[in-house]
Every structure is written in structure tokens, then in C-alpha cells.
Structure 1
Amino acid sequence: MFGPRRIEPGPGQESVWDYPRPPRLEDSDKQIQVVFNGVVIAESNRTKRVLETSHPPVYYIPPEDVKREYFQDSPRSTFCEWKGNARYYTITVGEQSLPNGAWYYPEPTAYFAALRDYIAVYPSKMEACYVNGERVQAQPGDFYGGWVTSDIVGPFKGSIGTMGW
């Protein structure tokens, strides 16, 4: 199998191939907005983003910037080798419900302690997600939940055939 061919970033762009492994957590002041079933369920310019080699950023929103009335605890949990045990939320707005549409880390590893209780969503499952007003494209494959914008270049892990990257 041949490895991915890195896309050279243009001015103002980032390449996911310049992101580190293990991943890095950084603050972001970009305006983030999440819409589900016609309702803005989260909006913030105080988010954190996780940057990992071959993945577009995943934005984590502070719990106080999420409309918590739409988020119900789910029994689902998963494990990330870097961040620890994740818990999930089912999102319900009106008659539309999305099981396990969001996740968070109630007790993250020490390196990711600042991520505690911040909430991430799968952009492919939302009506729309925006970064500074730009509509996000979901990372291929939906396993990682990355947010693709015009200032991020790949190729991105997640599509069929990329598992070995």
C-alpha cells in the first residue's frame, strides 16, 4: 500500500500532516456554531481544538456554551488512547433525536485535563456546523468527527483504505 501524498498548504492554510502525534490541544477563538433540527444548540468563541496527524481539527465546546436542555446522557462510552474514556450524549430537538451525536471526557488524561466536560459533535450528523461563518465539511468516514474548512488541507484519514495511515 502506498502512503498518502501530502497536499501543500497555501497561504493561510494548515496541513493536517503538520499536526503532531500524539495530538495537541489548543485554545481557539474562532466562532463555532452548531445547528440541529433548525436550532442553534451550541455557539462559542472559547473552544478547544484537538490537532492530530492526518486528521482535521475536532472542536470541543465549553459546556456553558451548549444548550444543555437538548443533550441527554447516553449509556455509550468509548476509550481514546490519548484522551481517556469518553461518554456520549443523545441530542433531541423537537421530534428529532440523534443517539450518541456528541461526546465528552469527564475525566480526561492529565495531558488533556483542560478538555474536561467540553463537548464535541459529529458534523456529519448535524444540520450544519460553522467555523467563523464557513460551513464545515465532515471528515470522511465519520469515526473521528473532524471539521474540514477551506483553511485545512489533507488528505484526511477516515475514508475507505486509510486505516493503515
Structure 2
Amino acid sequence: MANTQQAAAKAKLEGKSRGKKQLEPDAKHPITVDEFPGRVRVAFNGHLIANTANAVRLQEADYPPVYYIPRHDCDWRLFTPSDHTSHCPYKGEASYFHLDVDGKRAKDAVWSYEEPNTAVSRIGGFVAFYPDRVDRIEAD
């Protein structure tokens, strides 16, 4: 199911970034992407929805770090594709997913860059979660 959702998100974003500004990280706006050496778990509405030892950590400028999780380490039965998209000049076009667990929805709680800009290509196809839309994100 994850591959089908990934293909649908990719098709939806195709062409959306044409003509949009693309920026490279630099000293004024640094971005690093590295392998996270620990485990990352994400829970929503009492369910573990992601659990991985293969996360990557993206650190962008002065923002808190964001953990990107491989799709195969997520419970895709709980994800519903959203029509929402966004554009980051440093990362590219993002597609979104809702989380639906036991009748509770977290709208646009998950995002993914299907074809990220070259500088952050490592996050391509991984997913990340808004901390304020899930119960918890544990990184240890």
C-alpha cells in the first residue's frame, strides 16, 4: 500500500514545482541530514504508528531537528492521503497524509518529499510527523 500511496503523491506533485524558487543551503541557512544512531517511535491515539532504527535527522537553520522515517517502518493502514501540498525552496514539494486511528483523525500530520531538492535527497520517500499533531515522537 505504501508504494501505491507514494506513486499517487508523486503524480500529484509532478509539475507543481516548475517555476518555483529553489535555494541551496548555505552559511545563512544551513541544512544537514544525517543518519540518526538511535531508535525513533511515533504514537497517535494510543497506537504505535512508526518504529525505526533507520531514521535520518534533518537539522535546518535554528529549527528543532526533524526525524524522517522510512515508509516501510510505518503502519500504512493508519495513513490517508491528503490533498494538501506545500513548497519549501530548500527541500522541494511536500505531500501530506492524515492519520486515522480508532475514529480520531490528525489532519495533515505527516509529510513527505517524494523528489526533494538535491541537497536533501536523503529524505526522499521518507515521512516526518508534526509533533503537535501526534501523541509523541520519541528519539533515543
TM-score between the two structures when normalised by the length of structure 2: 0.77
Mapping for residues 1-165 of structure 1, pairs under 5 Å: 21-132=29-140
5+ unaligned residues in a row in structure 1: which ranges?
1-18, 133-165
Change (3 A) 1:107 1:69: same
5+ unaligned residues in a row in structure 2: which ranges?
1-26
Determine which structure has the larger helix proportion and give its number. Answer: 2
Match of 1:144 in 2: none
Partner SS state of residue 40, structure 1: strand
Instruction: Give the percent of matched residue pairs that are identical in Structure 1 and Structure 2.
Output: 28
Residues 36-70 of structure 1: CA deviation (Å, up to 9, x unaligned): 01100001111111112211100000001111111
**How many Å apart are 1:20 and its aligned residue?**
7.3
Would you say how many aligned residue pairs link Structure 1 and Structure 2? 114
Q: For the pair shown, which has the larger CA radius of gyration, 1 or 2? A: 1
Q: Are 1:83 and 1:109, in contact at CA under 8 Å, matched by a contact in 2?
A: yes
Segments ≥4 residues shifted beyond 2 Å: 19-22
**How many Å apart are 1:21 and its aligned residue?**
2.3
Q: Are 2:110 and 2:130, in contact at CA under 8 Å, matched by a contact in 1?
A: yes
Q: Are 2:106 and 2:134, in contact at CA under 8 Å, matched by a contact in 1?
A: no
